[in-house]
A and B are shown apart, each in its own frame.
Chain A
Amino acid sequence: MTYMPKVDRRSFVVGATAAGGGLALGLSLPSGGVTPVLAQDGTPEVNAWVVIRPDDTVVVRVARSEMGQGTLTGLCQMVAEELEADWSKVTWEYPTPGQSVARKRVWGDFSTGGSRGIRMSHEYVRKGGAAARMMLVQAAANEWKVPVGECAAANNVVTHKPSGRNLRYGQLAAAAAKLQAPDPKDIPLKDPKDWKIIGKSVKRLDTPDKVTGKQVYGFDIKLPGMLTAATMESPVHGGKVKSFDAAKVQGMPGVKKVMKLGDTGVAVVADTYWHAKTALDALPVTWDEGENAKVSSAAIAAWLKEGLDAEQAFVGNSNGDAKAAIAAAAKKHEAVYAYPYQNHVCMEPMNATARYTPEKCEVWVPTQDGEASFAALLAASGLPAEKCEVYKLHLGGGFGRRGAFQDYVRQAVLIAKEMPGTPVKVLWSREEDMLQGRFHPVMQCKLVGAFDKDNNLTGLHMRLSGQSILANVRPQVVDQNKGMDPLVFQGLMRAGNEHMFGYTIPNLLIDHSMRNPHILPGFWRGVNINQNCIFIECFMDELAEAAGKDALEFRRAVMSGNPKNVAVLNAVAEKIGWGKPAPQGVHRGLAHMHAFNAYVAAAAEVSVTNDKIKVHRIVAATDTGYAVNPAQIDRQVAGSFVYGLSALFYQECTVKDGRIEQTNFDTYNSMRIAEMPNVESIVMPSGGTVWGGVGEPTICVAAPAVLNAYYRATGKRIRSFPLKNHNIAFA
Chain B
Amino acid sequence: MRRSLLTRLIGLTGLIGLLALTSLRTHASPAEDPGQQVDALHAVLVQAMKHGGTVAERIAIIDDQVFALFDFETIARVSVGREWSKMQPAEQTRLVDLLRRLSVATYADRFDKFEGQRFERIGVQSSKTGSVVKTFIVRSNGERVSLHYYFRSGKIFNVVADGVSDLALRRSDYGSILKREGLPAMFEHVEQNVAELE
**Do A and B assemble together?**
no
